[in-house]
A = this chain, B = another copy of it.
Amino acid sequence: MWPASVDVRSTCHQGPRPRERTIWRSPIPVTPETRWYTGGVSLFIDRLDAIAQKNKSLVCVGLDPWRPSMPIADIAAFNKAIIEATHDLVCAYKPNSGFYEAEGFDGLRALEATIAAVPDGIPVILDAKRGDIGSTAEAYAKAAFEVWGADAVTVNPYMGGDTLEPFLAYEDRGVFVLTRTSNPGARDFEELVLDGQPLYERVTERVREMNTHRNAGLVVGATAPEELARVRAIAPEMPILIPGIGTQGGALESSIRNGADARGLRAIVNASRSVIYASKGADYAEAARTAATKLRDDINVVRSEMGFAWS
């Protein structure tokens, strides 16, 4: 399966500088061409499980700098304060690329600083919802994993399976595929019944077929508890990123009951505004810690009722 000869130098030294966080991660990206060189590197799913166990948490905090809600103007400083206040309470951070891109180069520098501020061992899920074909999809995967150094990225499946492959080729990174999202518009196309099956179920099946490296995940909104249960039934082992609790009105209990796997894991509950904007005052970091603690504990109550304890 491995190529007989690979020019490692071109893989190591070309292109933009890789992200500096390296713990639990190969120093070079694990692609089909380089995996012979990086044997033994951990998978995203293993890193995710490990930090969830360590922090006893299924909470992902969304780092979404939206100016009208921000208590201070400096995005990087704001995010760093949030990360510092919550890093022992989460299993992942999820910056949404759109908010940073909207600020131009300054915003992208803040994204870089934000990712660098996440402690080693906590995965960064870059919420970018990319989707393109062939060499362009390779370019987006390179941007997410090599330029920004994300541990995982969200992608859009509309254009088909071949648009997901270049992302999944990075075996040590995670790829969360939009499945049944939390917005009202999810009913427009995702829920259409096509050839007897809702589109989001078809997407789930296709992603599961493609998950040969154990690095695929799914995105299902907390606002769709029944659909979440169906997705979990189709994909028993895959991590599911669950946005939409709190501000968007999704229910926490059903998110865990319907989204967790057989060990009570891999339902990653994302909260953005309800945590990072818990206070608009000078106590915003402290308030974020309080909100994240409550969310973690509320989740763990549900897990306990389901019979799951942290080891």
Chain A residues in contact with chain B, CB under 8 A?
A: 15-17, 64, 66, 96, 98-99, 101-109, 129-140, 142-143, 146-147, 156-163, 178, 181-190, 192-195, 199, 202-203, 206
Tell me the bound Cα distance from A274 to B108 in angstroms: 32
Question: Which residues of B lie under 8 Å from residue A189 when comparing CB positions?
Answer: 157-160, 199, 202-203, 206
Say yes or no: A160 contacts B184, CB within 8 Å.
yes
Tell me the bound Cα distance from A46 to B146 in angstroms: 40
Say yes or no: A64 contacts B178, CB within 8 Å.
no
23 contacts between A and B (CB under 8 A): A16-B106, A64-B136, A99-B135, A101-B139, A102-B142, A102-B143, A103-B147, A104-B147, A105-B108, A129-B132, A134-B183, A156-B156, A158-B158, A158-B190, A159-B183, A159-B185, A160-B185, A160-B188, A160-B189, A188-B206, A189-B202, A189-B203, A194-B194
- Answer whether A140 and B98 are a contact pair too, CB < 8 Å, given A16-B104, A190-B160: yes
Say yes or no: A136 contacts B98, CB within 8 Å.
yes
